[in-house]
Amino acid sequence: MPSPPKTQYAKSGDLHIAYQVMGTGPLDLVFVPGFVSHLEYQWEHPESARFLERLSSFSRLIRFDKRGTGLSDRVGGIPTLEQRMDDVRAVMDAVGSERAALFGISEGGPMSLLFAATYPERTSALVLYGSYARRAWAPDHPFGRTGEEMGRIIETMEREWGGPVGVEIWVPSMAGDERFRHWWANYLRLAGSPGTAVSVMRMNMEIDVRHVLPVIRVPTLVIHRTGDRLTRVEQGRYLAERIPGARLAELPGDDHVPFFNSDQIIDEVEEFLTGTRHATEADRVLATVLFTDIVGSTERAAALGDRKWRELVEGYYLLARRELTRFRGREVDTAGDGFFASFDGPARAVRCAEAIAAGVRSLGIEIRAGLHTGECEVIGDKVGGIAVHIGARVASLARAGEVLVSSTVKDLVAGSGISFEDRGTQTLKGVPGEWRLFAVAPVS
């Protein structure tokens, strides 16, 4: 992955709005985030980063953190849609964008609608994902959220902010992935305070831009996942039916956040804005992926405190990287206490995992490790694809101190002298079929 773009600031009134620009495509695309966001931490997850890279492959992608969130100035009170619309205009002015397509996510949709209606000469097109014209239920809007429903969500959010709150609603496909849960918790915490989050959610219940819809005169694409657990698909249908000439793309899935399992979304956006689908055909290679993380990390971190926990994790990473060099593996990513590496030989990957598991005991910790071999997409210096997801799911099922592998790995290392213990057939969350897993047997 190339280096993330530099964060810069545009002046909107008395406030500073953080923004990033990347890509050199023929059209400007302003990404209007939903809820809360953090420009820089979004790059810390490989799927999220890939989402941004794909958008920037056919556009000059302009992203920003709304006032009060992420890296932008904090504010007293909750900004109005009009104030946030001014922030879009300020960022566009700062980067010299006379006219741009707007890509509004969730609550970013109403703001994008208002901008397109107010400044049609500066809006080339409009894309709305997981969005709505009105969040709240009403007799003439029966698919909105009731006050009671949103009250429960807000109460949980305020009580559990700082952890992976809402992951089962916002990104259910990743809810069983501990590495993702850690990233999600950090992302939310960096993006806004619990007070900000609660205030934004309450403000969302007051949004109603239904009267704006017939005024929209720019080409519009509405994308909605049919199983979206936060914003029902009927909300997307409502938008498409009432915006003149709008096109509706209903996609399978139940994630509200667009960054994950995003290829279909980006294909729709690219075709709508450019007329073609030029999804980059990534190189594909056979690779063995290794995932490790610390057992009981949350409890251990709480017991040690931030500084000592950070030192412990750094020691764990140092040891893992030393073994990685020894067994000719390649570090792909780290997140929290998770370590992700790839190998061009499965036997070396297993030996490396064993060495890491044995070595970290001197630090007073245990890890779990999971491996899978499969065809991976090579995207820059990262690897992705279903094989990576399988490896992560296998790791999540490993016991303390255990190196757990898929049957593919076991079969490929036949004759290497590595012994295994059958762990039976398992279902891997989000992965079709059943999978036979094996634990590497300790050397007697």
Domain ranges (residues) in the chain: 8-274, 283-440
Long-range contacts of 231-236 (CB under 8 A, 24+ apart): 231/106, 231/130, 231/131, 231/132, 231/135, 231/256, 232/143, 234/143, 235/131, 235/132, 235/133, 235/143, 235/144, 236/128, 236/130, 236/131, 236/132
pTM of the model as a whole:
0.67
CATH of region 8-274 = 3.40.50.1820
Q: CA 85 to CA 66: how far, in whole Å? A: 10
- 3-class DSSP state of 374: strand
Place of tokens 């997140």: 335
> What is residue 1's predicted lDDT score, i.e. its pLDDT?
44
Name the residue among 283, 288, 285, 284 with its Cα closest to residue 408. Answer: 288
Is residue 102 classed exposed, middle or buried when 0-12, 13-18 and 19+ CB atoms within 10 A define those classes? buried
Q: Are strands 367-379 and 283-294 parallel, antiparallel or unpaired?
A: antiparallel
Q: CA 177 to CA 174: how far, in whole Å? A: 5
pLDDT in tens, the chain (444 residues): 456 899 999 999 889 999 999 998 899 999 999 989 999 999 988 889 889 999 999 999 999 999 989 999 988 777 777 888 889 999 999 999 999 999 999 999 999 999 999 999 999 999 999 999 999 999 999 998 898 988 898 899 889 998 999 999 999 988 888 888 999 999 999 999 998 888 888 888 888 999 999 999 999 999 999 999 999 999 999 999 999 999 999 999 999 999 988 889 999 999 999 998 665 555 778 899 999 999 998 898 889 998 999 999 999 999 999 999 999 999 998 888 899 999 999 999 999 999 999 999 999 999 999 999 998 888 767 788 889 999 999 999 999 999 999 999 999 998 889 999 999 999 888 777 889 999 999 875
- Domain 283-440: which topology? Alpha-Beta Plaits (3.30.70)
**Range list of H helices, 1-74:** 46-56
Q: What angle do CA 333, 161, 154 make, to 5 degrees?
A: 130
> What is residue 430's predicted lDDT score, i.e. its pLDDT?
75
Q: In the chain, what's the furthest Cα-to-Cα distance?
A: 75
Which residues lie closer than 8 Å to 146 by C-beta, 6 or more apart? 136, 137
User: Would 8-274 and 283-440 be classified into the same CATH topology?
Assistant: no
- 3-class DSSP state of 208: strand
